[in-house]
Amino acid sequence: MIKQKTGAAASRTRSAALALTLVLSATIGFALPAAAADKVRIAMVVKSLGNGFFDAAHEGAKEAAKQLGDVDIIYTGPTTPTAEGQIEIVNSLISQKVDAIVISANDANALVPITKKAMQRGIKVLSFDSGIAKGGRLMQLNPSNAELIGVKQIQMASDAIGGAGEVAILSATAQATNQNIWIGEMKKALAKPEFAKIKLIATVYGDDQSDKSYREAIGLLRSNPNLKAIIAPTTVGINAAGKAVVDEKLVGKVYVTGLGLPSEMAGHVKSGAVKSFAIWNPIDLGYAATYAAYQFVKGKAQGKDGESISVGRMGSIKLDAAGEAALAPPFTYDASNVDKFAKIF
Ligand code: RAM
């Protein structure tokens, strides 16, 4: 027969159980940080938070982390796209002793001293999307070939306006490495005979902020009555320009093109403000950058000229003499396919 425990015996059992719980939680308490310390900590530092393009890149980073199994992602960035904000963040990541930093830089040169410091402390620094100058990172992952991105945008503008007329560029920040390279390529493309009738009349900067980009687009539209197209090589800018064209009742008179996210651009294609735009897959870009960072941490990549780095489901990337590699060509979106891709990014 099971005897009921006396009060004293029951309380002894309770305290034994409590002691056991304490021992267990102490063990787990020690075990958890030890397990976390075994993990590779990769920080993704973006130009600024709240940008859908980088949210998609973060999705890719998380996918790579899940596949690799022993990676923790720290997703971070300043609230506005400034080099100063990123410098502060990198400084704090150095104190946190992360293993790697993958950064889309707000300035090619201003970040070099701080990322050099990070590398001296053993942190693997890679730039992706918007690069850091060669000495400040181990490699730069470009989404695609820069010339292709430049020509593509001029071609789309030309197609939209019948091959002739005034165009203007609405960019991100004036220091953005990637946009400045693409603007240079657009200017080279405009020098080609097939685009001789297209005239670039202005380049303005919306700083990858929706409100500033919108105001800059309105300014372009109001002060240039003969403007035929706004080319925005930024997902934030192109979205704001599409809205400005609709609000100014200029659909059919001014076309917007450039680099956009299908999820943000589907409405602008429907309104008629946009005929076509392009982009690469930002999820793939974030995935490949994270995967490459892991290879550096594990000593499987050094950043040498000609080196091939395996990037999981994306295959491998090859570094050139400038320590750069590129992913796939940009894809074009229009009324025929934008809704399908809007569900993805
Ligand atoms: C914005 C950012 C990013 C750029 C895309 C196209 O989201 O400026 O750096 O690659 O546009």
In a domain, residue 74? The reply is: yes
Residues 70 and 154 placed together within one structural domain of the fold: no
* Confidence (pLDDT) at 29: 39
* Confidence (pLDDT) at 153: 98
- Cα radius of gyration (the chain): 25
- Ligand 1 site, residue 142, Cβ cutoff 6 A: no
pLDDT digits (tens, 9 = 90+) for 188-214: 999 999 999 999 999 999 999 999 999
- Ligand 1 site, residue 177, Cβ cutoff 6 A: no
Beta bridge partners of 166: 199, 227
Q: Please check the confidence at residue 11 and state whether its pLDDT lies above 60.
A: no
pLDDT digits (tens, 9 = 90+) for 25-72: 333 434 444 446 689 999 999 999 999 999 999 999 999 999 999 999
- 259 with 328: CB under 8 angstroms? no
Residues 182 and 253 placed together within one structural domain of the fold: yes
Q: Are strands 277-279 and 331-333 parallel, antiparallel or unpaired?
A: antiparallel
Residues 102 and 176 placed together within one structural domain of the fold: no
* Confidence (pLDDT) at 90: 98
CA distance 37 to 50: 29
- 35 with 23: CB under 8 angstroms? no
- 118 with 143: CB under 8 angstroms? no
Pocket test of ligand 1: the residue of 55, 104, 208 to mutate, having most ligand atoms within 8 Å of its CB, is: 208
Pocket test of ligand 1: the residue of 49, 103, 236, 284 to mutate, having most ligand atoms within 8 Å of its CB, is: 236
Q: Which two tokens stand for residue 311?
A: 């990037």
Neighbours of 120 (CB within 10 A): 9
In a domain, residue 316? The reply is: yes
Domain boundary among 247, 279, 311: 279
- Ligand 1 site, residue 182, Cβ cutoff 6 A: no
Range of the domain at 122: 36-143+282-327
CA distance 51 to 296: 27
CA distance 128 to 139: 8
Residues 239 and 165 placed together within one structural domain of the fold: yes
Residues 109 and 40 placed together within one structural domain of the fold: yes
Residues 220 and 196 placed together within one structural domain of the fold: yes
* Confidence (pLDDT) at 45: 98
In a domain, residue 108? The reply is: yes
CATH number of residue 260's parent domain: 3.40.50.2300
CA distance 207 to 280: 21
Residues 175 and 129 placed together within one structural domain of the fold: no
* Confidence (pLDDT) at 16: 45
Q: Which two tokens stand for residue 268?
A: 């602008």
Residues 151 and 273 placed together within one structural domain of the fold: yes
Residues 271 and 212 placed together within one structural domain of the fold: yes
Distance 14 CA to ligand 1 centre (A): 60
Average pLDDT value over all residues in the chain:
92
Pocket test of ligand 1: the residue of 51, 144, 185, 186 to mutate, having most ligand atoms within 8 Å of its CB, is: 51
Residue type, 319: L
In a domain, residue 11? The reply is: no
* Closest among 142, 128, 144 to 77, alpha carbons compared: 128
* Closest among 209, 244, 213 to 227, alpha carbons compared: 244
* Confidence (pLDDT) at 36: 62
pTM: 0.89
In a domain, residue 21? The reply is: no
Q: Which two tokens stand for residue 23?
A: 């021992």
How many separate domains does the chain show? Answer: 2
Domain boundary among 253, 279, 305: 279
Residues 46 and 111 placed together within one structural domain of the fold: yes
- 238 with 256: CB under 8 angstroms? yes
CA distance 190 to 31: 61
Angle at 175 between CA 78 and CA 235, to 5 degrees: 65
pLDDT digits (tens, 9 = 90+) for 258-305: 999 999 999 999 999 999 999 999 999 999 999 999 999 999 999 999
Q: Kindly report the protein residue whose alpha carbon is nearest to atom 11 of ligand 1.
A: 234
Token pair 């707000």: residue: 106
Residues 213 and 93 placed together within one structural domain of the fold: no
Residues 251 and 287 placed together within one structural domain of the fold: no
In a domain, residue 22? The reply is: no
In a domain, residue 266? The reply is: yes
In a domain, residue 257? The reply is: yes
